[in-house]
Amino acid sequence: MKLDVNVLRYLSKDDFRVLTAVEMGMRNHEIVPSELVDRIAGLKHGGTYKVLKNLLKYKLLHHDRSKYDGFRLTYLGYDFLAIKTLVNRGVFTGVGRQIGVGKESDIFEVAQEDGTILAMKLHRLGRTSFRAVKSKRDYLRHRSSFSWLYLSRLAALKEFAFMKALEEHDFPVPKAIDCNRHCVIMSLVQGYPMVQVKQLQNPETIFEKIIGIVVRLAEHGLIHCDFNEFNIMIDDEEKITMIDFPQMVSVSHQNAQMYFDRDIECIFKFFRKRFNISFQEDRDDETEVEVDENSRPSFYDITKDANALDRELEASGFTKKEQNDLDKFIEGGLEKSTDSDEDEESDDEEQTFESNEEGSLNEMESLQLQEEEQKRSDEVEAEVELDDNEK
Ligand code: ADP
Ligand code: MG
Task: Name, in order, each residue with C-beta under 8 angstroms of 278's C-beta and a sequence gap of 6 or more.
Answer: 272, 285, 288, 289, 290, 291
Instruction: Give the span between the Cα atoms of 231 and 238, in whole angstroms.
Output: 15
204 with 299, same domain: the answer is: yes
3-state secondary structure (DSSP) of residue 325: helix
Residue 320 placed within a domain: no
Q: Which residue has the higher pLDDT, 193 or 148?
A: 193
276 with 375, same domain: the answer is: no
- Give the model's confidence band at 317: pLDDT under 50 very low, under 70 low, under 90 confident, else very high: confident
Tens of pLDDT, residue by residue over 71-104, are 999 999 999 999 999 999 999 999 999 998 877 8
198 with 282, same domain: the answer is: yes
- Give the model's confidence band at 353: pLDDT under 50 very low, under 70 low, under 90 confident, else very high: very low
Looking at residue 371, what is its pLDDT? Answer: 54
Q: Is 226 a catalytic residue?
A: yes
Quote the ligand 1 centre to 146 CA distance (angstroms). Answer: 26
Residue 98 placed within a domain: no
Nearest to 208 by CA among 289, 142, 88: 289
Residue 286 has pLDDT above 70, yes or no: no
Pocket of ligand 1 (CB under 6 A): 99-100, 102-105, 107, 119, 121, 174, 186, 188-189, 193, 230-231, 243-244
Looking at residue 56, what is its pLDDT? Answer: 96
Q: Say what angle helices 13-25 and 34-41 make with each other, to 10 degrees.
A: 120
Average pLDDT, the chain: 80
CATH code at position 17: 1.10.10.10
Pocket test for ligand 1, best of 244, 338, 339 (most atoms within 8 A of CB): 244
Residue 310 placed within a domain: no
φ/ψ bin of 119: left (φ > 0), alpha (ψ from -120 to 50), beta (otherwise): beta
Mean pLDDT, to the nearest integer, of 181-193?
96
Angstrom distances, CA of residue 154 to CA of 122, 180, 314, 324: 12, 10, 14, 10
Domain C-terminal end among 303, 322, 345 = 303
Residue 61 in contact with residue 55, Cβ under 8 Å?
A: yes
CATH code at position 256: 1.10.510.10
**Set 226, 263, 348, 387: catalytic member:** 226
Give the position, in ligand 1's atom list, of the atom nearest the Cα of 231: 7
Residue 72 in contact with residue 145, Cβ under 8 Å?
A: no
Residue 297 placed within a domain: yes
Give the position, in ligand 1's atom list, of the atom nearest the Cα of 246: 2
Tens of pLDDT, residue by residue over 228-284, are 999 999 999 999 999 999 899 889 889 999 999 999 999 999 999 999 988 764 445
Instruction: Give the span between the Cα atoms of 72 and 52, in whole angstroms.
Output: 11
373 with 284, same domain: the answer is: no
* Domain limits for position 197: 192-242+252-303
Looking at residue 22, what is its pLDDT? Answer: 96
Mean pLDDT, to the nearest integer, of 155-181?
94
Residue 355 placed within a domain: no
In this structure, is the dihedral angle defined by the CA atoms of residues 313, 225, 102 and 327, taken in order, positive or negative? negative
Total number of domains constituting the chain: 2
Residue 196 placed within a domain: yes
Residue 178 placed within a domain: no
Residue 349 has pLDDT above 50, yes or no: no
Looking at residue 150, what is its pLDDT? Answer: 85
Residue 256 placed within a domain: yes
Amino acid found at 228: N
